[in-house]
Amino acid sequence: MRVEVDGTHFPLETLGPGRRLGIWLQGCPLACPGCMSRHTWDPRGGEPMDVERLLALWRDALDRGAAGLTVSGGEPLAQPAALAELLRGAARLRSGLTRPGATGDGLPADLLVYTGYEESELDAARRAALASADAVVTGRFRVAEPTGLVWRGSANQRLTPRTGLGRIRYAPHLDREADGPAVQVVVESGRASGEPAGPPAVRLYGVPRRGELPRWERWLKEHGLRLRERSWRP
């Protein structure tokens, strides 16, 4: 099955516990004011991939000791059938492991999904898409409701475990305030133009705290990277 993808990254360390594979799906109809990922809104603005290709990345991440998979976007539930297939496959590959993921707690790798939909907006198709998720972060990003809660962008967003593994893995984090770096900065050569020798793209992975994006802009400028476009500005 084909899925429209914004990007992938391993190791991702700012969206869930441990070192994880991050997959960002393309397309979001929710248009939250203040969204930092406006480049993911266009449903055809990413790269079409086979789910199998993403699962190969997951297999590789598991081999490298991934603690989990985080699927974000964009809005992952805008492609419910592909999301369901991805999570089903990821759960199958994880359960085939003879050793637990390198999480330090002896547990297998977990599957975490971010959605801008509220729990009450999860209809049958969306629930089915999340059937294999161990935990879900739900709710729109509300710029006027900042929070210090780890891995959440605004105070209304809920982190909800959905499986036994999710309940154990996420129990220490449900009400925990963020205490480490909230954003991971990755510079990708040529990504901005698609040409290897073209200008680099800077990817900021994570949930920035209030006022953090301008600080990163200043930091990048001090290090010789002046941003031409910013995904958090209209």
* Residue pair 151/178 in contact by the 8 Å Cβ criterion: yes
Nearer to ligand SF4, 30 or 168 (CB): 30
Choosing from 4, 6, 13, 75, the residue that interacts with ligand SF4 (CB under 6 A) is: 75
- Cα–Cα distances (Å) from 2 to 28, 49, 83, 111, in that order, read 17, 5, 10, 20
231 vs 38: CA distance, rounded Å: 5
130 vs 127: CA distance, rounded Å: 5
Residues near 200 by beta carbon (within 8 Å), at least 6 away in sequence: 187, 188, 189, 190, 191, 192, 225
212 vs 36: CA distance, rounded Å: 11
31 touching ligand SF4, by CB under 6 A: yes
Number of residues that this document lists for the chain: 234
User: What 3-state class would DSSP assign to 87?
Assistant: helix
30 touching ligand SF4, by CB under 6 A: yes
- Residue where the block lists tokens 């009400």: 175
113 vs 138: CA distance, rounded Å: 9
The region of 32-40, 84-92, 102-110, 119-127 touching ligand SF4 under the rule CB under 6 A is 32-40
Nearer to ligand SF4, 25 or 61 (CB): 25
User: Rounded to the nearest whole angstrom, what is the least distance from the CB of residue 103 to ligand SF4 in the complex?
Assistant: 26
39 touching ligand SF4, by CB under 6 A: no
> Which of positions 85-124 make contact with ligand SF4 (CB under 6 A)?
116
The region of 45-53, 70-78, 160-168, 174-182 touching ligand SF4 under the rule CB under 6 A is 70-78
> Which of positions 130-169 make contact with ligand SF4 (CB under 6 A)?
140-141
The region of 27-35, 46-54, 59-67, 98-106 touching ligand SF4 under the rule CB under 6 A is 27-35
209 vs 212: CA distance, rounded Å: 5
User: Rounded to the nearest whole angstrom, what is the least distance from the CB of residue 97 to ligand SF4 in the complex?
Assistant: 31
User: What 3-state class would DSSP assign to 151?
Assistant: coil
The region of 13-21, 26-34, 166-174, 226-234 touching ligand SF4 under the rule CB under 6 A is 26-34
35 touching ligand SF4, by CB under 6 A: yes
Question: In what helix (H) or strand (E) does residue 219 lie, and over which residues does it extend?
Answer: helix 212-222
27 touching ligand SF4, by CB under 6 A: no
The region of 29-37, 47-55, 126-134, 168-176 touching ligand SF4 under the rule CB under 6 A is 29-37
In the complex, the residues that contact ligand SF4 under the rule CB under 6 A are 28, 30-32, 35, 37, 40, 73-75, 116, 140-141
